[in-house]
Amino acid sequence: MTNPLLLHLEKRDALSPAERDIILEMSANQKVFPAKVDIVREGDNPTESCMLLSGFSARYHILADGKRQISAIHVPGDFVDLHSFLLARMDHSVAALTDCRVAMVPHTHLRELSQTQPHLTRLLWLSTLIDAAIHRRWIVTSGRLSAAGQLAHLICEMFCRLQVVEMVEEDSFRLPISQIELGDALGLSTVHINRTIRELRERDLIRWQNSQITIVNWTSLKRFAQFEPIYLNLEPERR
């Protein structure tokens, strides 16, 4: 299996052989986290950043009144908390949604890299910028789309992101996320998520059984979700 971070980066720009090696070396020190366990915790001041090799994880925030909101879902190839390299204290936690294999990269290593590898640094920077673009898109969908629109948009986004790391088969992919977690991600109640999934099924846009999503009609789904993948920067470019 190809290293997913390589897939993620090489989808956006060409890497030199030396840069490829550096990425591969970064994946050397691996750790496994079982589902439901926190990978990084709010208040931590990490000395290493982690990159997701397999599994799904989520960035979540707990409010004073106990409510939870997921602000990002991460898939293999995502450099999950790369930002903790420059941001001091974590203002949120990251949890494994499924069993996760992650690579731990010491901040000292990243700092060194930022001194000696400008192009690779720009690509890592880019990776955090794409995360930010995804955040912005979530703001837009949560502000202006109906529940069904939001959910459809998330499905489109996941489809495209998983495609990059070769986790899509034809029109179908696994999204091992419970309806409770989806509610926390979209800012909706579990009950409403359930009804919204049903709505998408009834509109014959998707099939969804046992975490397996099949897109019945990509064109209609895209239109329904007002999905435009430009923000994911899926085109290779000189950066």
**How big, in percent rounded to 5, are the helix, strand and coil portions of the chain?**
45, 20, 35
Size, binding site for DNA by CB under 7 A: 16
Q: Does 191 bind DNA (CB under 7 A)?
A: yes
Question: For DNA, which is the closer residue by CB, 78 or 184?
Answer: 184
Question: Among a copy of itself, DNA, none, what binds residue 41 when CB lies within 5 to 8 Å by partner kind?
Answer: none
Report the helix count and the strand count for the chain, using DSSP H and E: 8, 11
Q: Does 180 bind DNA (CB under 7 A)?
A: yes
Binding residues for a copy of itself, rule: CB under 8 A, are 59, 61, 63-65, 67-69, 71-72, 83, 86-89, 91-92, 111, 114-115, 118, 121-122, 125-126, 128-133, 135-140, 142-145, 184, 186-187, 223, 226, 228, 230-231, 233, 235, 237, 239
Residue 33, CB-side half-sphere exposure with 13 Å CA sphere: 24
Question: Among DNA, a copy of itself, none, what binds residue 198 when CB lies within 5 to 8 Å by partner kind?
Answer: DNA
Residue among 56, 60, 228 nearest 157 (CA) = 228
Q: Does 198 bind DNA (CB under 7 A)?
A: yes
For 98, the token pair is 């499924």
Question: For DNA, which is the closer residue by CB, 165 or 193?
Answer: 193
Q: Does 195 bind DNA (CB under 7 A)?
A: yes
The interface region with DNA, picked from 22-30, 91-99, 175-183, 230-238 by CB under 7 A, is 175-183
CA–CA gap between residue 10 and residue 27 (Å, rounded): 16
Q: Does 226 bind DNA (CB under 7 A)?
A: no
Q: Which of residues 98-157 bind DNA (CB under 7 A)?
A: 146-148
- Cα end-to-end span (Å), the chain: 26
Q: Could you tell me the strand order of the sheet in which 172-174 lies? A: 168-169, 172-174, 212-215, 206-209
Determine contact, residues 32/64, Cβ cutoff 8 Å: no
Applying CB under 7 A, the residues found at the interface with DNA are: 146-148, 178-180, 187-192, 194-195, 197-198
